[in-house]
Amino acid sequence: MLALGADHGGFRLKEAVKAYLDSAGIAYEDFGTDSEASVDYAPFAVAVARAVTSGKAEKGILCCGTGIGISIAANKVKGIRAAVCTNAFCAEMTRRHNDSNILCMGGRVISEETAVELAKIFLETPFEGGRHARRIAQIAEIENGER
């Protein structure tokens, strides 16, 4: 299961990703928002992030105007590696090297078509492990040392 969320700036991208997931028969839960009316992004970020860290969702996709604010908020949840991606290369590499568990995208930055392309890549690309696992462990160590 995937967890989806967006603010008003990312609403259209979220809806485009949902249409793709429906057509591909991929299960998801939509944590909102449900329109282009202005809302704050942090509550959507935390809802999706906690769905991922609790194991309820395997991965998450979050969208705001730039993808940045919602990624910063999601990354405050322990265990989240949320990555803002604007192209196919970044979407692939953040799975291969960062084992990212949330893809973030910006509705004022990329098209709906690109968002679907990046979502597909993000969902289909495995983590490479190896030396990258050591680097992820170092990130977790930093996180565990913070109070």
38 vs 144 by CB, closer to ligand RB5: 38
Q: Which residues are catalytic?
A: 64, 97
Task: Give dist(CA 136, CA 15) in Å, integer.
Answer: 31
Choose which of 2, 46, 61, 64 interacts with ligand RB5 (CB under 6 A): 64
Q: Is 42 in the site for ligand RB5 (CB under 6 A)?
A: no
Choose which of 21, 50, 69, 121 interacts with ligand RB5 (CB under 6 A): 69
**Secondary structure class of 6 (helix, strand, coil):** strand
Minimum distance, C-beta of residue 23 to ligand RB5, in the bound complex (Å): 26
66 vs 114 by CB, closer to ligand RB5: 66
**Secondary structure class of 122 (helix, strand, coil):** helix
One-letter-per-residue 3-state SS of 58-104:
CEEEEEECCCHHHHHHHCCCCCCCEEECCCHHHHHHHHHCCCCCEEE
Site residues (vs ligand RB5, CB under 6 A): 7, 9, 41, 64-66, 68-69
